[in-house]
Structure 1
Amino acid sequence: MFKQIQKDLKTLDVNLKQMVGPRHPILSAATEHLFHSRGKRIRPAIILLVAKAANNQRELTNEHRRLAEITEIIHTASLLHDDVIDDCNTRRGSGTVNSKFNNKIAILAGDFLFAQSSWYLANLNNLDVVKIISKVITDFAEGEVAQSLTTFDVSMSIDNYMHKSFHKTASLLASSCKASAILSNANEIQQNQFYNYGKHLGLAFQIIDDILDITGDHKNMGKPAGLDLKNGNLTAPLLFALNECSELHKLIEREFEEDGDIEYAITLIKSTNGIEQAKDLAKEHAQASIQNIKYALDNPAISDLKLLSEYIINRIT
């Protein structure tokens, strides 16, 4: 899917190292997420494909490439903070910054990356792009607050879950897709099409991650199964399962405090239709992402963006 931008992705790797830089061993450790983890190029790849799609396959500009780099740095900064909040010790098979050092260092490293992204964002000299990407960092904070206020809350609705998921995950992809279209001088209709493409694809990504937290696919997830449950984060599979299994209510209300509660909860969820319903929800959003670029100019980049959405649908079939 990324063959046409492979060269640009290799350049992105080089540029990221220069942007972050080995200023301090601890900051270098923070960049492990960027440089030594598999599967960390999906967001910049999407941004570059949107750029090609919106400017009808013309050459990418330095601004397009820099936006992709900024998006990856913001994403990585959010992971550093998430690992602290979730008390996560491994990610993609490697120790997290907070486990190698401590929470304070991890938070400072995340703050540093957010600051770096802001600096490079300002240097794009495009006020519209600055506004839309700056809002993402606010969305991250709002999503984290919303999540912290609903831990172990069995009254949480799917709508609340989707709202939180947008702010924590989909906002960055949606806004970066729109920003990429802006840099390609796309009209407002096209900008909104790509925004909605990123929004729905981001939501599909989040739902799939939440499914993997239950199904225990540690290789794909890169962190221990059941971590969301342990932290009281009620996700789509669990919320759907609650409608069928009253025993889950008891486990959540006692906050999984007894030995074996997490494992028992996972077993109960798997015995319901919760996972299948969550898969259907993810497919719905992946299909919605395709619909939003259905009438865009037909070119290889558009085809690759559609193929990516279809890959997600097939991945969870």
Structure 2
Amino acid sequence: MTVLAGDFFFSKAFQTTTNIGIPVMLHIFGTAVEDYVRSYFEGDLRQVDAVDAMWWETKTNFKTCSLLASGYKAATMVGGLSQQEQDRAYQLGKHIALAFQTYHETKQFLDTSFSAGLNYDVTSLPVVLHMETHPELLKCAQEGKVDQLKF
């Protein structure tokens, strides 16, 4: 049922975008949806030899940033702003999403009331940075031995 509801909302969003009369917006939002789906493949630890901050940023750009940044760009397109201003809006949306995701992922390590009893995402920035300096942890994560990791 959830998948059908999501499909309904996507179809309505694309229909509304088409009615605005700026066909390139369909491409922008379609690319954002494609990026979101790609994030699940790009973010798979079993498929990489090493992780670092650039790997995290790429994964996060696909998963989180692309949709927000595309929304910012689309707003400037509807407003009739120049291509340069559209590109700036896209970069602004991307950096806001990166900042939000960084805050969200580090909060669980800094706020004990927030993190009590939670499982950590092994692809979060603090864990990725730790794995960058301790590559043996990546091997444990790839083998599914996450419960044995000590941070």
1:176 has 2:71 as partner: yes
In structure 2, relative to structure 1, the CA distance for the partners of 1:125 and 1:167 (3 Å cut) is same
Q: 1:152 to 1:209 in 2, by over 3 A?
A: farther
Kept in 1, the 8 Å contact 2:50–2:138? The answer is no
Residue of structure 1 aligned with 2:119, choices 220, 226, 230 = 226
Q: How many residues get paired?
A: 150
Offset of residue 252 of structure 1:
2.1
Q: Deviations for 1:95-139, whole angstroms, at most 9, x for unmatched residues?
A: xxxxxxxxxx33232222222222222222211322212221111
Corresponding residue for residue 100 of structure 1 = none
Note the 1:52-63 alignment, pairs <5 A. none
Shift of 1:197: 0.7
Q: Give the CA RMSD over aligned residues.
A: 2.8
Q: Which position in structure 2 is the counterpart of 1:142? A: 38
Shift of 1:214: 3.9
Unaligned runs of 5+ in 1: 1-104, 269-317
Conserved? CA contact 2:25–2:74, under 8 Å: yes
Q: What letter is aligned with 1:139?
A: D
Deviations 1:146-176 (A, max 9, x none): 123x348562232222111111110111111
Name the residue aligned to 2:131. 242
CA distance 1:257–1:242, shift in 2 (3 Å)? closer
Distance (Å, rounded) in 1 between the aligned partners of 2:135 and 2:51: 15
Overall identity of the aligned pairs, in %: 22
Which residue pairs with 1:189 in the alignment?
A: 84
Unaligned runs of 5+ in 2: none
* Cα gap change, 1:235 to 1:124, in 2 (>3 Å): same
Q: Which amino acid aligns with 1:238?
A: V
Residue aligning to 2:13: 117
With normalisation by structure 2, the TM-score equals 0.79
Q: Relative contact order, CA 8 A, sep 6+: which one is greater? A: 2
Q: 2:2 aligns to what?
A: 106
Distance 1:254 1:141 in 2: 24
Q: Which secondary structure does the structure 2 equivalent of 1:228 belong to?
A: coil
Query: Would the alpha carbon gap of residues 143 and 217 (structure 1) be closer, same or farther in structure 2, given more than 3 Å must change?
Result: farther
Q: Which amino acid in 2 is paired with 1:256? A: K
2:78 and 2:47 mapped to 1: Cα distance?
Answer: 42
**1:162 corresponds to:** 57
Q: Distance in 1 between matches of 2:76 and 2:21?
A: 15
Whichever of the two has the greater Rg, that structure is 1
Structure 2 letter corresponding to 1:240: L
Separation of aligned partners in 2, 1:138 and 1:170: 12
Q: Pick closer, same or farther for the CA change 1:119–1:251 going to 2, 3 Å.
A: same
**Residue correspondence of structure 1 range 192-207 to structure 2 within 5 A:** 192-207=87-102
Query: If each structure's helix is expressed as a fraction of its own residues, which one has the higher value?
Result: 2
Deviation at 1:180, TM superposition (A): 0.7
Paired amino acid for 2:95: H
DSSP-derived class of the 1:123 partner: helix
1:201-240 Cα deviation digits (max 9, x unpaired): 1111222222234446776x9xx732523xxxx2221121
